């Protein structure tokens, strides 16, 4: 019985051993699976052969109309503001030379007339002495006396030719009186303010009947016959704009109206916030030109032709100075010279005529990426 069990156990061991050897042999001789080769994706792009062209140098920018001149009307003297032919009301218009502000000055004017009368008495009292002691000078002083009018500004003081004549006039206080009157005339002139240009009241703080004191702000006036449009231009485009260049200003309305203007000045600094250069366009509106301060308009600059440039869409330019070209069906990044930017187009140089340039944005594009140019 024991012998039978031993034979059974040995048989089982042999069977297991044979199965193990067979399994090992099969695994050993099993061919290794081939590793998969990852194919690099080829993207389709739009591209074209370089073409150098000549283009019209037209630039268009939007800007807001401003008055060429804006003044703050302030009182230099004290007194009540009187009515004039131009009412002190916001929005009122006026012509150059019209009286805008009149401050009550009857008392100052009467005092000035009194000074002139006293001065005339002084001259009349010394004329006999001049006729005797300084006979060659008599005619000029008598002529000066006749020119003096109570209601008119003093005429210019005659030239004093000798030291003796100067001592004589000084001793009679004539020179002091003369300049005292001139000072009073200057003071009287400050009671009236006249329009320095054709314009309008932009704002009014003191109206007729109000009491003004020295330094009081009466209002703000803006010029209407000379306007300015401030344009912000990129530095690389500003180089094409020069002082004196003629421009067209497009004003929207029922119909777009074109008004002529010119570049009056150009800043030589870059605004740190916008990174642009300010260009100032002067406009002198004619009768019927409906253009107003505060209005937004478009300004068209027409410069000289630009020769031998490549036009490429803005989206094809990376970091404002690189583009992709295609060589041997692969992308290559190249630096360009930006000549001008106009709307959605870049005008560039620096690429050979036989090269193929990519004309669209390439998502995640990089050097050496395989591409296929589509028609």
Q: How far is CA 34 from CA 29, 31, 37, 191, in A?
A: 15, 9, 9, 105
Q: What is the pLDDT of residue 29?
A: 59
Do the beta carbons of residue 84 and residue 200 sit within 8 Å? no
* pTM greater than 0.85: no
CA-closest candidate to residue 55, choices 265, 337, 341, 283 = 341
**Per-residue confidence at 25, pLDDT binned at 50, 70, 90?**
low
Query: Poorest-confidence range of 43-52, 95-104, 225-234?
Result: 43-52
Q: What is the pLDDT of residue 15?
A: 66
Q: What is the pLDDT of residue 155?
A: 95
DSSP helix/strand/coil, 20: helix
Residue-averaged pLDDT of the chain? 88
Classify residue 283 by burial, with Cβ atoms within 10 Å: 0-12, 13-18, 19+.
Answer: buried
Q: What is the pLDDT of residue 8?
A: 65
Top-ranked range on mean pLDDT: pick from 17-31, 187-201, 303-317: 187-201
**Per-residue confidence at 209, pLDDT binned at 50, 70, 90?**
very high
**Per-residue confidence at 284, pLDDT binned at 50, 70, 90?**
very high
Tokens matching residue 36: 């998969």
Q: What is the pLDDT of residue 9?
A: 65
Query: Poorest-confidence range of 14-23, 95-104, 148-157?
Result: 14-23
CA 318 from chain centre, in angstroms, equals 28
Domains of the chain: 44-57+307-374 (2.40.420.20), 59-66+225-304 (2.40.30.170), 71-103+195-222 (2.40.50.100), 106-189 (no CATH)
For the cut 80, the answer to whether the pLDDT of residue 282 exceeds it is yes
- Report which of residues 296 and 39 the model is more confident about: 296
Do the beta carbons of residue 98 and residue 195 sit within 8 Å? yes
Tokens matching residue 305: 């032709």
Model confidence pLDDT, tens digit, residues 122-151: 999 999 999 998 899 999 999 999 999 999
Pairing of strands 70-74, 217-223: antiparallel
Pairing of strands 227-233, 356-358: unpaired
Q: What is the pLDDT of residue 55?
A: 87
Q: What is the pLDDT of residue 36?
A: 52
For the cut 70, the answer to whether the pLDDT of residue 212 exceeds it is yes
Classify residue 215 by burial, with Cβ atoms within 10 Å: 0-12, 13-18, 19+.
Answer: exposed
Q: What gap in Å lies between CA 194 and CA 196, rounded to an integer?
A: 6
Region 100-107 average pLDDT: 95
For the cut 70, the answer to whether the pLDDT of residue 251 exceeds it is yes
Query: What dihedral angle (degrees, nearest 10) is formed by the CA atoms of 86, 98, 226, 66?
Result: -40
Q: What is the pLDDT of residue 303?
A: 82
For the cut 60, the answer to whether the pLDDT of residue 33 exceeds it is no
For the cut 80, the answer to whether the pLDDT of residue 221 exceeds it is yes
Classify residue 89 by burial, with Cβ atoms within 10 Å: 0-12, 13-18, 19+.
Answer: exposed
Q: What is the pLDDT of residue 62?
A: 93
Do the beta carbons of residue 53 and residue 310 sit within 8 Å? yes
Angle at 297 between CA 248 and CA 253, to 5 degrees: 100
Query: Poorest-confidence range of 16-25, 71-80, 302-311?
Result: 16-25
């Amino acid at each position: 019985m024991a012998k039978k069990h031993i034979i059974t156990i040995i048989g089982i061991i042999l069977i297991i051993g044979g199965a193990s050897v067979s399994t090992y042999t099969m695994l050993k001789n099993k061919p290794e699976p081939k590793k998969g080769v990852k194919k690099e994706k080829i993207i389709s792009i739009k591209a074209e052969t370089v073409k150098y062209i000549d283009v019209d140098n037209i630039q268009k920018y939007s800007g807001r109309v401003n008055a060429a001149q804006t003044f703050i009307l302030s009182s230099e003297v004290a007194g009540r503001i009187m009515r004039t032919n131009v009412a002190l009301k916001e929005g009122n218009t006026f012509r150059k030379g019209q009286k805008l502000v009149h401050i009550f000055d009857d008392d100052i004017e009467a005092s000035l007339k009194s000074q002139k009368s006293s001065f005339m008495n002084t001259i009349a009292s010394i004329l006999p002495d001049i006729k005797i002691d300084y006979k060659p000078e008599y005619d000029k002083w008598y002529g000066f006396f006749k020119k003096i009018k109570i209601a008119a500004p003093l005429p210019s003081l005659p030239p004093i030719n000798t030291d003796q004549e100067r001592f004589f006039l000084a001793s009679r206080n004539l020179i002091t009186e003369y300049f005292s009157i001139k000072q009073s005339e200057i003071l009287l002139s400050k009671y009236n303010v006249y329009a320095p240009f054709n314009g309008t009241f932009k704002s009014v703080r003191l109206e007729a009947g109000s009491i003004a004191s020295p330094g009081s702000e009466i209002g703000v006036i803006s010029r209407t016959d000379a306007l300015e449009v401030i344009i912000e231009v990129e530095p690389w485009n500003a180089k094409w704009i020069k002082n004196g260049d003629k421009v067209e200003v497009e004003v929207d309305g029922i119909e777009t109206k074109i008004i002529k203007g010119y570049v009056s000045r150009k800043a030589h600094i870059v605004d740190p916030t916008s990174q642009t250069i300010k260009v100032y366009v002067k406009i002198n509106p004619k009768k019927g030109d409906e253009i107003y301060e505060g209005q937004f308009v478009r300004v068209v600059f027409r410069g000289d032709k630009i020769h031998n440039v490549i036009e490429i869409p803005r989206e094809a330019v990376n970091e404002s100075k690189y583009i992709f070209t295609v060589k041997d069906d692969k992308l290559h990044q190249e630096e360009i010279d930006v000549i001008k930017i106009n709307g959605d187009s870049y005008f560039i140089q620096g690429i050979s005529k036989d090269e193929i340039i990519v004309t669209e944005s390439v998502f995640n594009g990089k050097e050496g990426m395989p591409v296929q140019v589509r028609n």
